[in-house]
Structure 1
């Protein structure tokens, strides 16, 4: 099978206003252009609503009459959405690519695919490694959501709290709630969304530290500091970013996580509290280089494309995730 040095990002833009999607897409394409050219790659976005996965003699992924899986390429599938039906479809696309000869960059670790995106699964895995995590309660679904409130009160207390979807990113739908009455009202609302939510203790912090690891080696870091009066450290939500802060306080824990997951590519996020770092979450290829400030952005881009090139190369290195399948 012929190989093309193409990275395709498959997404579901219908979750956001068109002008927001255009802004973020333009920014990413601008930041991907130079490193792609430097490493001999091309980059493109494809909306999931333009795709049709099939399986006969082999997995196929049709896009405007062309089977994208006819050649060996690299893919990132942004497989979370506020629309449950869209989420299921995105995961169908994810699994078709994963079963093909192409490279699914999301699958950079060993274990359930939930470890790539599900905050509850991530924190549960980290906790058994002895890594400090925020107190977290997963709310039951639908009309049963209120049954989780007594558990929240018992395990977390009277607040403040953070309420967020288990599988969304970029700070979307994250609520800070001052007390139990606010939480109860918010739970009544989110229980009708069709998504699953978690409640966490709110931990005052001076920012969010991201540590990027590629093929077992530290590559770059970023400190995201919330805007004045904000509790969100996402750059897309107004936070400021600083390149390559010191990672001494967390690097041994990061290396333990990477070794446990046998992760080829992983970005691990930490809340920097007054009592020390606390794990926020981690991400695979969707936690890519474009949000980092320079020079961390170029450092991570160089390592990222070298890794992808090795995966695509004929007879190239077999990843830890491949060996475990």
Structure 2
């Protein structure tokens, strides 16, 4: 339906290798937690990938060196990975800005080659993949219901945003979160304005951009997966009793959800506006109806979904990736 990924050079003779490489920063997590994440995802990805003739591997960004002398190259242990046309997912959201910048460099040198960065599968600007403020603004422009949101100024100026928070959102409760983050990491529920003031003082020292949003009581978070313009599946993530986060990585519980009628038009409007080949769109299920939360690229991967939704989405994902590789090979 869309063709946001740059077409191959028609004169290219680069051989195709059906592999998905997930590039990540190993320093963002405690090593034992990282080992568990990698083991869990690898187990699920290997089985699904093999059914479609794909291989799968995680690669630490610290093992890669992007270069361009005669052409774009990506070196790992003396081997140029860009000698063959492969698929990549580059996890370029993190807490260390220098590491994030390096990950951007890796993804952009891959983009300059015949290989594919699958999380760049939208025609919209790259920053719309990860900036929650930009997502909220674009969703509101498209007519979706969105939470009241205020972006805080930087460093010592952060408190200057609190008067706007009180005027636009009220006296709480609030959600404080980083503009560019994922998996529910560092998302803080704050009950009072006094607590928010202290939380903002701490957040201002991190060097990251932060948002304050109204806290919306909800029955869960609905994630809808759309691949090549077709709604594939959905899941409802619910909080454990007494908690406020529904993210699977933060202890939320997921069930397949096939009743997507209340958000279907919104999802298709978002995907059409972004020109997105693969996108997951999240909604908080509130008393006033579904409220847009965020959207996610292929880093919101099929392994998080419960069965049978997991296999349905994996099938759609690998068919799409395979077609992209085949198209580049023919071109």
Give me the TM-score of the superposition, normalised by structure 2. 0.94
Partner of 1:36: 49
Partner of 2:142: 129
Partner of 2:68: 55
Select the residue among 101, 117, 122 that pairs with 1:88.
Answer: 101
Measured in 2, the distance between the counterparts of 1:317 and 1:88 equals 33
Partner of 1:322: none
1:310/1:316 contact within 8 Å kept: no
Partner of 1:45: 58
Measured in 1, the distance between the counterparts of 2:81 and 2:328 equals 21
Partner of 1:182: 195
Kindly tell me: are residues 256 and 101 of structure 1, through their superposed partners in 2, closer, same or farther at Cα, counting changes over 3 Å?
A: same
Q: Deviations over 1:124-150 (max 9, x none)?
A: 111111111111111111111111111
Partner of 1:142: 155
Higher relative contact order (CA 8 A, sep 6+): 2
1:203 is aligned to 2:216: yes
SS at match of 2:119: coil
Select the residue among 80, 84, 91 that pairs with 1:67.
Answer: 80
1:208/1:269 contact within 8 Å kept: yes
Measured in 2, the distance between the counterparts of 1:94 and 1:283 equals 17
Measured in 1, the distance between the counterparts of 2:330 and 2:261 equals 30
Select the residue among 204, 208, 228 that pairs with 1:215.
Answer: 228
Measured in 2, the distance between the counterparts of 1:217 and 1:25 equals 29
Kindly tell me: are residues 281 and 157 of structure 1, through their superposed partners in 2, closer, same or farther at Cα, counting changes over 3 Å?
A: same
Partner of 1:194: 207
Aligned ranges 1:199-278 → 2 under 5 Å: 199-278=212-291
Partner of 2:306: 293
1:223/1:245 contact within 8 Å kept: no
Partner of 1:10: 23
Measured in 1, the distance between the counterparts of 2:286 and 2:305 equals 21
Partner of 1:323: none
Kindly tell me: are residues 32 and 141 of structure 1, through their superposed partners in 2, closer, same or farther at Cα, counting changes over 3 Å?
A: same
CA-CA distance at 1:244 after TM superposition:
2.7
Partner of 2:37: 24
- Gap runs ≥5 in structure 1: 319-325
Select the residue among 104, 114, 119 that pairs with 1:101.
Answer: 114
User: How many residues of Structure 1 are paired with residues of Structure 2 in the alignment?
Assistant: 318
CA-CA distance at 1:94 after TM superposition:
1.3
Measured in 1, the distance between the counterparts of 2:282 and 2:226 equals 11
2:16/2:329 contact within 8 Å kept: no
1:310/1:317 contact within 8 Å kept: no
The more displaced of 161-170 and 56-65 is 56-65
Give me the TM-score of the superposition, normalised by structure 1. 0.96
- Gap runs ≥5 in structure 2: 1-13
Q: Deviations over 1:162-189 (max 9, x none)?
A: 0001111001100000011111000100
CA-CA distance at 1:113 after TM superposition:
0.7
Superposition CA RMSD, Å: 1.1
Runs of 4+ in 1 over 4 A off after TM superposition: 314-318
Q: Deviations over 1:72-109 (max 9, x none)?
A: 00000000111111111111111111111101101111
CA-CA distance at 1:316 after TM superposition:
6.6
